[in-house]
Structure formats: structure tokens, C-alpha cells
């Protein structure tokens, strides 16, 4: 982060929660260092600009043994760049704080934390993940899910479909979830069912938060909710079982939710940043691709424009009356 930006945002009053969480959420650093002498001149030139690289890998529900998998990616990049690469596992909140405090150079982030990283650290997304379970390649859908035998039916317009939810019991994922709260609430505001995120009780009969995709969907399976809102990819293992999936169906979906991506801090010089991006893109090659798929089940990384990629979530936050 630039010195000027840091002086403007150093107080970070609105980000107190982040600083409080970072100690408990970021694990001990585990460096994976390749032998720089095995590389050629380009990596050695890179090392003159950046002596080491720290990458934050946020923990996610569909990733196990993440530290070892992150270390493997770190080792790969260390060989590509000719410098030590430190892989840290934390959550999105800790990742943004690490970028802000210049304790990290690169972070894998979901969409809302990526907006926060830009605001607080001037870090931008340069790459997005592609998954086979994303309907839009590097975008996916927010889905309203109901029991398979529900009397609620998909109508010929979003307004007519969502009108059926009046007075019903809904299970959102969490108040911070993009696809499980922010984007569906923005749609309800857009359709004039509610004025903002604080007035949902004027439309729904009961509101609950599962805390994660699995629990929100299981609330529907168990009859505790009439509808849940989750990401489309949550309708697959490991989030729910095949048996649970057979008891559910999608009532309505909202396309264009931005996929998770990779942010790079602005204090990384542009030539170095390009080398990091190109190194990460080499994970798309068949001989390296397992390193990428092991992380978060993504099969490819693609270049994106930060502002264009995040436009959907940014607009949804504004419509719903939620701070970024």
C-alpha cells in the first residue's frame, strides 16, 4: 500500500473488527522456498524488486488440508519467481487486514472482501477463478432453493416468482454473504418488496441465518424454512449430500455473481506484479493444474478487470443499503 494511502487510512476506525480478528485467524507462517540458483536471470531480476512474497489463502468450507496445499502452490511460485514465497492460511477478514498492513502482497479473496481490499489497501483483483460448477465460467448464480414438492413455482418474471415468498420462512446464508444475502436482498429491493436490508421482516414471515450454505439448505430439507438462498455450487457435495439435493429444487436464480479472485497489493511494482500474474497463470497448464484444483476446486485462472468484475456486488450493496 502506498505511503499516502496508508496515512489516510491508518486509523481504520471502521475496520476495528478486522484488526481484532487477524491475530486469531492467521495461522503461523510456513515458508516454502525454492532454490533461486536453479532459476535463470529473469527471476533474479525480480528478486531485486521484491525479496519475498507473502500470499494469504482464505479457509473455505470446500477445502481441506489447506496449509499443505497452499505450501505446494507457494513452492511452485517460488521456483517460478526465484524468491521465497510464504503461504499463510486465514480468513477473508485477516487477508484484507494483512494487505492493508503490508504483511501480505497477494491474497485469494471473495468479492465483498475484494472491494474492502481496494478501499483500505488499494489492492486490486487481477485474476478470477473458474469452476465447473459456475454457470458463468467466472461468475455464478445466487439461487432461491425450495423443497422439491413445494407449491411455489417459477413464474414468467422475477417479480411474480418472488412475490410468492411473501409471509414465508426464509433461511439466508449469513448477513455478509454475497450470493446468500447481499445480492438476493438487492433483488427484493429492486422489485420493491422491501425498502432495504433492515426491513425484511415486513415481507417475510420468519428470517433465519444458517451461518453457511449447508445449514441454510438443511433448514429447507428439515422443514424449518420454506426457502433458502445460497450459491448455485452449494447444491453439490461437500455442502450437501446427493440425497439432500434430491429433495430440493431451484425456484429462482440471479446470475452474474463475481467469482473469487486473486488480489495484489499496490506496493508491488508493475513489472513484478506482471511476473506474479504470469506465474499464477502457469497453474492452468496441465502439468501444474492439480495444484490449483486441489486448493478450491477451481480449474483455471483468468485475467479480469477489478471494477468490471465486481460491478454486480458493488451495485447490490448500494441497492440494499449495505456498506461495502
What would the mean pLDDT of 238-249 be, rounded to a whole number?
96
Pairwise CA distance, residues 87 & 71, whole Å: 6
* Average confidence score pLDDT of the chain: 87
The CA distance from 288 to 297, in Å, is 14
**Most confident range, picked from 20-29, 163-172, 234-243:** 163-172
End-to-end CA distance of the chain: give it in Å, rounded. 19
Domains of the chain: 53-131+260-305 (3.40.190.10), 139-258 (3.40.190.10)
Residue 149 Cα distances to 4, 97, 166, 170, 223, angstroms:
58, 45, 18, 16, 11
pTM above 0.85, yes or no: no
Give the model confidence (pLDDT) of 165-193 as tens digits: 999 999 999 999 999 999 999 999 999 99
Amino acid at each position: 500500500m502506498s505511503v499516502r494511502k496508508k496515512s489516510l487510512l491508518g486509523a481504520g476506525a471502521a475496520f476495528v473488527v478486522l484488526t481484532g480478528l487477524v491475530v486469531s485467524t492467521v495461522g503461523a507462517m510456513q515458508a516454502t522456498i525454492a532454490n533461486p540458483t536453479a532459476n535463470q536471470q529473469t527471476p533474479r531480476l525480480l528478486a531485486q524488486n521484491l525479496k519475498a512474497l507473502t500470499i494469504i489463502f482464505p479457509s473455505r468450507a470446500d477445502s481441506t488440508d489447506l496449509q499443505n496445499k497452499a505450501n505446494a502452490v507457494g513452492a511452485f511460485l517460488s521456483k517460478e519467481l526465484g524468491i521465497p514465497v510464504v503461504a499463510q492460511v486465514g480468513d477473508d477478514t485477516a487477508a484484507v487486514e494483512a494487505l492493508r498492513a503490508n504483511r501480505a502482497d497477494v491474497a485469494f479473496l471473495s468479492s465483498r472482501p475484494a472491494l474492502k481490499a481496494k478501499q483500505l489497501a488499494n489492492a486490486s483483483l487481477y485474476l478470477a477463478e473458474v469452476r465447473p460448477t459456475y454457470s458463468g465460467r467466472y461468475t455464478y448464480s445466487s439461487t432461491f432453493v425450495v423443497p422439491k414438492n413445494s407449491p411455489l413455482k417459477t413464474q414468467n418474471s422475477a417479480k411474480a416468482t418472488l412475490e410468492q415468498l411473501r409471509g414465508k420462512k426464509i433461511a439466508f446464508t449469513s448477513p455478509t454473504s454475497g450470493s446468500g444475502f447481499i445480492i438476493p436482498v438487492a433483488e427484493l429491493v429492486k422489485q420493491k418488496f422491501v425498502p432495504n436490508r433492515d426491513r425484511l421482516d415486513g415481507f417475510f414471515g420468519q428470517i433465519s441465518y444458517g451461518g453457511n450454505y449447508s445449514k441454510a439448505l438443511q433448514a429447507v430439507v428439515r422443514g424449518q424454512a420454506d426457502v433458502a438462498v445460497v450459491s448455485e455450487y452449494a447444491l453439490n457435495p461437500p455442502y450437501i449430500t446427493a440425497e439432500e439435493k434430491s429433495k430440493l429444487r431451484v425456484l429462482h436464480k440471479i446470475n452474474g455473481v463475481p467469482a473469487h479472485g486473486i488480489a495484489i497489493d499496490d506496493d508491488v511494482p508493475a513489472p513484478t506484479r506482471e511476473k506474479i500474474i504470469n506465474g499464477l497463470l502457469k497453474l492452468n497448464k496441465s502439468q501444474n493444474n492439480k495444484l490449483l484444483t486441489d486448493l478450491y476446486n477451481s480449474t483455471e485462472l483468468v485475467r479480469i478487470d477489478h471494477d468490471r468484475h465486481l460491478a454486480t456486488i458493488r451495485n447490490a450493496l448500494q441497492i440494499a443499503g449495505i456498506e461495502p
